[in-house]
Structure formats: C-alpha cells, structure tokens
C-alpha cells in the first residue's frame, strides 16, 4: 500500500542518514593521517550517497503528495456517503408519512361509508315505521 511504501522509504532515508552520521562521528575521533585517508574514501562515496538521499527525498514528496490526494478523495467519498445516508433517511421518512396519510384516508373513507350506511339504514327503518 501507499502508506507502507512511504514508511519504508522514510525508514530507508533515516537509516542512510544515521549511517552517515555514524561515519562522520567515527571519522572525527580518529587521528589526522588515518582520518584523511578514510575521509577521502568517504568523500568519493558521498556523491552517490547524496544522489540516493535526494532520490529518496523526492520519492517521499511524491508519495506524500499521492497520499494527500488519496486522503482528499476518501474524505470526498465519505461526505458523499453521508449525504446519501441523509437522503435515504429523509426519503424513508417521507414514504412513511405518505403511507400513514393513505392509511388515515382509507380509515376516514371507511368511517364515512359506515356512517352513511348506518344513516341509510336508520332512514329505512324510520320509513318503515
């Protein structure tokens, strides 16, 4: 994954820098003649090491940029998902409200029909008496 590669690259850069620090510290504790010979070798290799450090730093910047882009996309998707969840809940509430109104309308119509039949039956009964 991207994060793992970023961690691995940062670790490699940190290890390389630590090695260089240790070499420099080791050189500073040696006698002048021995230090000059080892320092010459160190300086010959430093160009390669510097290039590797710059390469790692560049790679880290690229990975961080990509990671930030992915995080932005993730946040965008999360906001979209929350919006969909709100819409789903609102739609469900509206559906339930419509269903309750329909049920109430049916109940009201049933009550009106019962009342009308009862009134009609009473009228017939009164007419027969």
At 101, the pLDDT band (50, 70, 90 cuts) reads very high
* Beta-sheet strands, E only, within 60-109: none
Mean pLDDT of 51-64: 95
Spatial distance between the Cα atoms of 115 and 108, rounded to a whole number of angstroms: 10
* 129 pLDDT higher than 70: no
Spatial distance between the Cα atoms of 5 and 65, rounded to a whole number of angstroms: 13
Residue 93 pLDDT: 97
Residue count of the chain, please give it. Answer: 129
At 28, the pLDDT band (50, 70, 90 cuts) reads confident
Angle at 8 between CA 2 and CA 9, to 5 degrees: 90
Take residue 98 and report the two structure tokens written for it: 């419509």
Take residue 92 and report the two structure tokens written for it: 């469900």
Mean pLDDT of 66-73: 96
Spatial distance between the Cα atoms of 34 and 40, rounded to a whole number of angstroms: 10
Q: How far separated are the first and last CA of the chain, in Å rounded?
A: 93
Take residue 94 and report the two structure tokens written for it: 């509206």
């Amino acid at each position: 994954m991207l994060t793992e590669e970023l961690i691995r690259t940062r670790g490699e850069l940190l290890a390389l820098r630590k090695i260089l620090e240790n070499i420099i510290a080791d050189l500073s504790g040696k006698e002048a003649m021995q230090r000059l010979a080892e320092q010459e070798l160190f300086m010959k290799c430093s160009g390669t090491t510097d290039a590797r450090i710059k390469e790692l730093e560049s790679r880290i910047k690229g990975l961080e940029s990509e990671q930030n882009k992915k995080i932005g996309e993730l946040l965008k998707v999360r906001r979209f998902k929350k919006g969909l969840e709100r819409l789903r809940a609102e739609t469900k509430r509206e559906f339930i409200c419509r269903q309750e109104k329909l049920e109430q309308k049916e109940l009201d119509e049933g009550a009106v029909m019962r009342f009308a039949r009862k009134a009609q039956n009473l009228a017939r009964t009164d007419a027969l008496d």
